[in-house]
Amino acid sequence: MQQLDDKVAAITGAGSGIGRALALELAGRGCRLAISDVSSEGLAETERLLGGRARALTVSVVDVADESAVLGWADQVVADHARANLVFNNAGVALSGTVAALSTDDYRWIMGINFWGVVHGTKAFLPHLEASGEGHVVNISSVFGLTAQPLMSGYNASKYAVRGFTESLRQDLELTGSRVSATCVHPGGIKTNIARAARTDASTAAAMGKPSDAAAHDFEKSFITSPAKAAEVIVEGVRKDKRRVLIGPDARLIDVMGRVAPAGYQRLMTGVVRKRAAR
């Protein structure tokens, strides 16, 4: 999809962070936008920032963990815009804690949003993308979908699942001769509020040796890429039909580290967390 002008793009999690930045980036490239988020306040702020820059804009409060809600939204997007060309399954949450401390409900919660939200968005929009004659599915994983980290088992599991789902989807589309393509995105540290908004078990703060908000603040210090830059890289990756998009030098380093030392990197990650806790 070399040309984005006048294409219809649906974005989940558009009330903040990368989702909001994608809305602004795509508006600047002439797209018609259908944005959604679970937060009406966040969506209102994104709409304000867009300031009429999009060719057309519709705004919907949608919980991506709710399959029927996502299916209804996809149908409404096509009713409002006559078609859908791109879907960015971006909505996501974070969860911290040891495996022993986290409940199965914690795991169901994060998988419902991070993984099932991607599945719901993909399945809901795929027939519409096919009908448009030229479509693209963009699913946001993470560097945590390339390598694992301690205290992040739920987040790791969800992002590894997104990676596997999207890579298989891409191959399915090629196998069937579809005009739709798919890209999996692996952002490194992006300057968003996801760490502060994370559900954090007390065991995480204990392991870090400090209150959970202080631990999140320390973690955020490693976030080096702006949402605007991330959105630009993602959109260029779509234009170039890339299978995988890595965002930030940290993402590229982690990708190499995981491939070169698939066992050794785990000891390194544990050591980093211990060093943070000792500060």
For residue 255, the model assigns a pLDDT of 96
What is the average per-residue pLDDT within 75-95?
Answer: 98
Which of the residues are catalytic? 155
* pTM for the structure as a whole: 0.91
Is residue 80's pLDDT more than 90?
yes
Does CATH place domain 8-278 in 3.40.50.720?
yes
Query: How do residues 171-184 score in pLDDT, each as one tens digit?
Result: 999 999 999 999 99
What is the average per-residue pLDDT within 69-86?
Answer: 98
Cβ–Cβ < 8 Å for 229, 189: no
How is residue 215 written in tokens? Answer: 């631990």
The average confidence (pLDDT) of the chain is 91
Query: How do residues 42-71 score in pLDDT, each as one tens digit?
Result: 999 999 999 999 999 999 999 999 999 999
Sheet of 86-89, strand order: 57-61, 32-37, 8-11, 86-89, 135-140, 180-187, 244-247
Which run of H or of E encompasses 246?
Answer: strand 244-247
For residue 217, the model assigns a pLDDT of 47
Domain boundaries, the chain: 8-278
What is the average per-residue pLDDT within 37-43?
Answer: 98
Query: How do residues 197-217 score in pLDDT, each as one tens digit?
Result: 566 666 565 555 555 554 444
